[in-house]
Amino acid sequence: MIEFKNVSFHYGGEQGTGEGVDNISLQIPSGQVLVLCGPSGCGKTTLTRLINGLAPHFYPGEMEGEVWVDDVCVSTAPLSETSRLVGSVFQNPKSQFFNVDTTGELVFGCENFGMEREEIRRRLDRTVEDMKLSALLGRNIFELSGGEKQQIACGSVYTARPEVFVLDEPSSNLDKKAITRLHETLRRIKEAGKTIVVSEHRLYYLMDLADRFVYLDDGIVTKSFTAQELGKLSDEELSALGLRCTDLHRLMKSPLIGEIPHGGKPVLETVDLGCNRGNHQILDVDRLSFPAHSIIAMIGDNGCGKSTLTESLCGVIPCSGSVAFDGTYLTEKERARRSFLVMQDVNRQLFSDSVMEEVMLGASASPEEAKQVLEGLGLGDVTDRHPASLSGGQKQRVAIASAICAGKEIIFYDEPTSGLDRGGMERFASLLRQMQDKVTSVIITHDPELILQCCTHILHVENGRILGFYPLNEEGAARMRWYFLSESEESTSRKREKLGMFGKILQYAGQWKKYTYLAVAFMIIGALCSAVPYFGVYTLIDRILAEGTISLRAALPAIASVLVFSVLYAVTYTVGLQFSHRAAYHTLENLRISLQEKLEKQPLGNVQDLGTGAVKKLFTDDIESIELMLAHVIPEGIANLTVPSAVLLLLVAVDWQMALLTVILLCFGFSASGQMVAVGMDRMGSYFAAAKRLNNTIIEYVAGMEVVRVFGREGESGRHFEESADGYRDFALAWYKVCWPWMALYGSLFSNVVLYSLPFGALMVVSGHMPLGRYVLALCLSFAIGPMFMRTLALIGAIPQVNFKIQALEKALDRAPLKCGTAEFEGADHSVRFKEVRFAYKSDEVLRGVSFVAEEGKMTALVGESGSGKSTIARLLSHYYDVSAGEICIGGQNLRAMTPDALNREVAYVSQELFLFNKSILENIRVGNPQASDEEVREAARKAQCEEFILGLPQGYDTPAGLAGSKLSGGQRQRIAFARVLLKDAPIIVLDEATAFIDPENEQKMNEAIAGIIRNKTVLVIAHKLSSIASADKIIVLRKGKVAAEGSHEELLETSPDYRRLWAASMESSGWLLKGGESA
């Protein structure tokens, strides 16, 4: 029970944003969820502070009345006592952590209370499980995104489990999944009988939880609603109260949004944008362009790379790829000069003493113009104030004003409306609309209300990739709304691996690692052996110098050792190389296998997305480059660095001044090669992207050769090819251009170490500071290490390339795999039900909420114009892709819950295209059921009406498909596909345009084959020829990704204009066909 007894509170000094609260009398019974709402500055936050005691204990002010929590008067009790009773979550995610690691933060409260260790552990486990925080455990808080931090803050209070929870705008930085999780957490807390007080602008997610909404205005409680009462308020009434919407379903696109700009010169374009953090590629954008004068909303889950994308586009973090503003490619610096980012924490962006000075800093506008801009933004009367004395909203506008005055072309905003009330949000939206003519705006946001108020485009980011970029027309709005409404609470936070490049490679090496280590050992011995002969030479020369002559007998041991060690060197080095190669190729094998496993789990779309060229490049070229790393760079590099280092140390003992000279030269050499690696790495992304593009173009060019020749489109296709080749050349040259000078520099430094030490040593000898013998030894040592350094260098150049390839390899396969369960088929029957299924392929939404049932043992036909989504439905049922929303059930079981094998046993999909493996016809049919005996295969072929033509082939059933392939007609190929399906005998059959190849000669046989297949099965047929499905039990008419009508043929002819049109069109064409047939 919380009780406010006639409380008034006013801040002393400059604390807080609001003016305080007056005459608050409020009782909150235990177990209630109370939401404080009202416009910004109405005193919501102050009320929360009065409950957790921070006002007046931390924020001093004038206080009247008392606040009681249970039997403690928190207004007078010390904070430490209140903290046991009241747990608080604050607005700003970055300033409520005391620890630097997440686990420590989650248990911080419990530790302060002196709780038993076991109890803390239990609670922590519980929190992690309830709030799905396992991916966030043991992390550095500074590397989390704002939303992730807020989750930790909630989790931390949840672990302490006080009687009263006070949350001050907990959702302001959260994505919708995190909000769903927050909702779930609040529900659990409520169920546990705790009292919850939430101060919040976003109301929709609290509607089913809150018992009471208390409305504050100007520090006074003016109204109180139940959830029902509030839900009944119309949008106008809410707007009058300054409240945000209570139900996202009711959100409508604002009529204030003007025409959606399209076409014209894009204001920003980017190609192959990539960004690495640590050893991971966290951004991978193929192509993106923003139309001029658009307002783009960037949406996506917390930590999906929105900020990284923004900062890469603005050029404030290093990235690879090209970004063009207004059609001109720009460097990072130029991009930063022409764009602007309004940060979430505006304090970081204000540098000057007064607003006017701030706006004029680096501005191209005159003071008069600046004044106008400020007035336009409602800042006319604060021009002389210190920016720090302004409110948050005003600071934000000062930042925007400075961007406008500096003539920026694109302004990015990082969650500009988090924590804004409705009025503030609407003002911000209208501000953006006003500026639309002048600048393009890109808003990172989790606020659907803002999007529907002002945006023209949606950019959906997922896991560092563009999931879709679409205009916000009616369909776009529906798609966007669905994204914010979908009820998924899974956490997308991932643990970031911290393995370096070598670590990653060795991970794949597995048990072969020991061979790599052996190789290193052998090569070190080898390198040592290669140095020893120089000692032999030294002893010889030394003796000659000392005695003037030397007998063969005396020289023999030295000469022998030179020979022996030369041989030893060759042997150990070879053995080392053998080991390293053995390790390398086994690792490559592991890598390819794991890559293939990952590829198999990918949705088909992702694989096609990658492109055949890229996949081939991944599997061969990129993986092959790792061989260089494992077989040479690691063992040879280590050997060739350790031994020279040891020799250098020896040189120190011989003569430290010569050693110093050598070291200084080597340092220059290494810094030059380091420079090369650094500058090379920056360009590497563009270079490899160009290579990938060239690869894909070549494959496309060859695959499309036939079409190109037939239709004489050499020109266009050739041009495309040429462009790719040119692009590759340019990027390769650019890369070499920056690398060349450094290569030349270090090359000359390393190979000529002796050149510099020779005269210096001679000088020392002449001046009598060094005996001649030592000089000779020093020279010999220099000669010994020279070649080793050269060998190392050859390898250093390869490191950035390999590193980049490995990163690309990982990024290519970190796309979300298909969601598969572990269950067997457990459905009650074999009916198929689509429930509100949505599916988008990149920017195009193909299915927009499709629901229907295909009953067991019946034939259901899907008809519609091409592009209406028929084939997509078939593919979704075979789980080639994951649905974006909704679910597909077989006999009541979601197909995502099944293992791929289980699903495969239930569904047989006959597509338009039959792929014949390079095996015999018999084996090709057996693909349907690998366990089938030869006789069963033949039986199936007979039923599918195949036997006749198969026996006509040169070797009958044993004819290789490659040989037979060209002789088979479309209809015959189709019947082979039927034979496969017959053999498979799955209870659900999907026929996709199965009768496309029908011709009069085939028709009879085809129909017999189909009749054999579909007997007693659940059948989904997709057909263009409506005559073939007129007898279907149910026909579903699709239009633009939605179900337009369903029913039997007769019903639809009466009720559905769409169907009538399709039917008429189909009759016409088949009539034409028949006539053709008759005349022939």
Partner 1 sequence: MDTILYGDDSKALVRFDPRTKLFIFLSCGLTSMYTYSGIYILLFTGAICAVLALSGKPWTALKAFLLFSVALYVKEAVDRGGSPAPAVVLIVSVVTTLILYALPTILSILLIVQTTRISQFLSALSAMHLPVRVVIPIAVLFRFIPTVQDEWNGIRKAMAFRGISLSFGSVLRHPWRSIEYVLVPLLFSTVGVMEELAAAALARGMDIDVKRSSYEEMKLRAADYIAMAVFAVLAAVIILRVSTKGAAGL
Q: How far is the CB of 157 from partner 1 (least distance, A)?
A: 8
Q: Which stretch binds partner 1 (CB under 8 A): 112-120, 144-152, 288-296, 589-597?
A: 112-120
Closer residue to partner 1 (CB): 560 or 660: 660
Q: Tokens 């060229």 — which residue?
A: 613
Closer residue to partner 1 (CB): 304 or 562: 304
Q: Which stretch binds partner 1 (CB under 8 A): 333-341, 680-688, 901-909, 1030-1038?
A: 333-341
**Residues whose CB is less than 8 angstroms from the CB of residue 490 and which lie 6 or more positions away in sequence, other chains included:** 132, 177
Residue 808 to residue 681: CA distance in whole angstroms: 13
- Alpha-carbon 433 to chain mean position: 30
Residue 284 to residue 272: CA distance in whole angstroms: 7
Q: Which stretch binds partner 1 (CB under 8 A): 403-411, 918-926, 990-998, 1021-1029?
A: 403-411
Q: Which stretch binds partner 1 (CB under 8 A): 183-191, 329-337, 534-542, 955-963?
A: 329-337
> Which residues from 51-90 bind partner 1, rule CB under 8 A?
52-54, 57-59, 79-80, 82-84, 86-88, 90
Q: Is 564 in the site for partner 1 (CB under 8 A)?
A: no
Main-chain dihedrals φ then ψ at residue 686, nearest 5 degrees? -65, -40
Identify the residue among 13, 193, 348, 549 touching partner 1 (CB under 8 A): 348
Identify the residue among 12, 60, 121, 729 touching partner 1 (CB under 8 A): 121
Could you please report the per-residue DSSP string of 297-366?
EEE--TTSSHHHHHHHHHTSS--EEEEEETTEE--HHHHHHHEEEE-SSGGGG--SSSHHHHHHTT--S-
Q: How far is the CB of 657 from partner 1 (least distance, A)?
A: 6
Distance set, CA 326 to CA 286, 318, 329 (Å)? 18, 21, 8
> Which residues from 844-863 bind partner 1, rule CB under 8 A?
none
Interface with partner 1 (CB under 8 A), residue total 84
The angle at the Cα of 312, spanning 318 to 296, to the nearest 5 degrees, equals 175
Distance set, CA 308 to CA 277, 291, 296, 596 (Å)? 10, 21, 16, 30
> Which residues from 760-799 bind partner 1, rule CB under 8 A?
764, 767, 769
Q: Is 352 in the site for partner 1 (CB under 8 A)?
A: yes
Residue 591 to residue 588: CA distance in whole angstroms: 5
> Which residues from 362-401 bind partner 1, rule CB under 8 A?
362, 388
Identify the residue among 12, 23, 29, 100 touching partner 1 (CB under 8 A): 100
Q: Is 134 in the site for partner 1 (CB under 8 A)?
A: no
Residue 962 to residue 960: CA distance in whole angstroms: 5
Q: Which stretch binds partner 1 (CB under 8 A): 137-145, 519-527, 612-620, 817-825?
A: 137-145
Identify the residue among 192, 240, 256, 361 touching partner 1 (CB under 8 A): 361
Tokens representing 370 are: 């600046």
Tokens representing 121 are: 């552990």
Half-sphere exposure of 892 (CA within 13 A, CB side): 4
Closer residue to partner 1 (CB): 367 or 1071: 367
Q: Report the number of secondary-structure helices (H) and strands (E) in the chain.
A: 41, 30
> Which residues from 599-658 bind partner 1, rule CB under 8 A?
649, 652-653, 655-657
Q: How many CB atoms lie within 10 A of CB 999?
A: 12
Closer residue to partner 1 (CB): 57 or 1024: 57
Q: Is 456 in the site for partner 1 (CB under 8 A)?
A: no
Do the strands 2-11 and 61-69 form a parallel or antiparallel pair, or are they unpaired? antiparallel
Identify the residue among 175, 311, 627, 992 touching partner 1 (CB under 8 A): 311
Helix (H, G, I), strand (E, B) or coil at 64: strand
Q: How far is the CB of 146 from partner 1 (least distance, A)?
A: 12
Cβ–Cβ < 8 Å for 105, 156: yes
Q: Is 662 in the site for partner 1 (CB under 8 A)?
A: no
Q: Is 454 in the site for partner 1 (CB under 8 A)?
A: no
Q: How far is the CB of 59 from partner 1 (least distance, A)?
A: 8
495 secondary structure, DSSP code: P
- Please list the alpha-helical segments (H only) found in 704-751: 705-711, 714-751
Q: How far is the CB of 323 from partner 1 (least distance, A)?
A: 15
Residue 139 to residue 142: CA distance in whole angstroms: 9
> Which residues from 153-182 bind partner 1, rule CB under 8 A?
156-157, 160
Closer residue to partner 1 (CB): 143 or 901: 143
Contact code string over 251-290 relative to partner 1, x by CB under 8 A: ---------------------------x------------
Residue 633 to residue 628: CA distance in whole angstroms: 6
The closest alpha carbon to 373, from 416, 406, 348, belongs to 406
Q: How far is the CB of 402 from partner 1 (least distance, A)?
A: 7
Cβ–Cβ < 8 Å for 47, 22: no
Could you give the angle at which helices 714-751 and 753-766 cross, rounded to 10 degrees? 10
Q: At residue 300, what is the residue type?
A: G
Identify the residue among 72, 406, 677, 1053 touching partner 1 (CB under 8 A): 406
Identify the residue among 14, 71, 116, 474 touching partner 1 (CB under 8 A): 116
Closer residue to partner 1 (CB): 20 or 533: 20
Closer residue to partner 1 (CB): 96 or 1028: 96
**Residues whose CB is less than 8 angstroms from the CB of residue 259 and which lie 6 or more positions away in sequence, other chains included:** none
Q: How far is the CB of 373 from partner 1 (least distance, A)?
A: 16
Q: Is 199 in the site for partner 1 (CB under 8 A)?
A: no
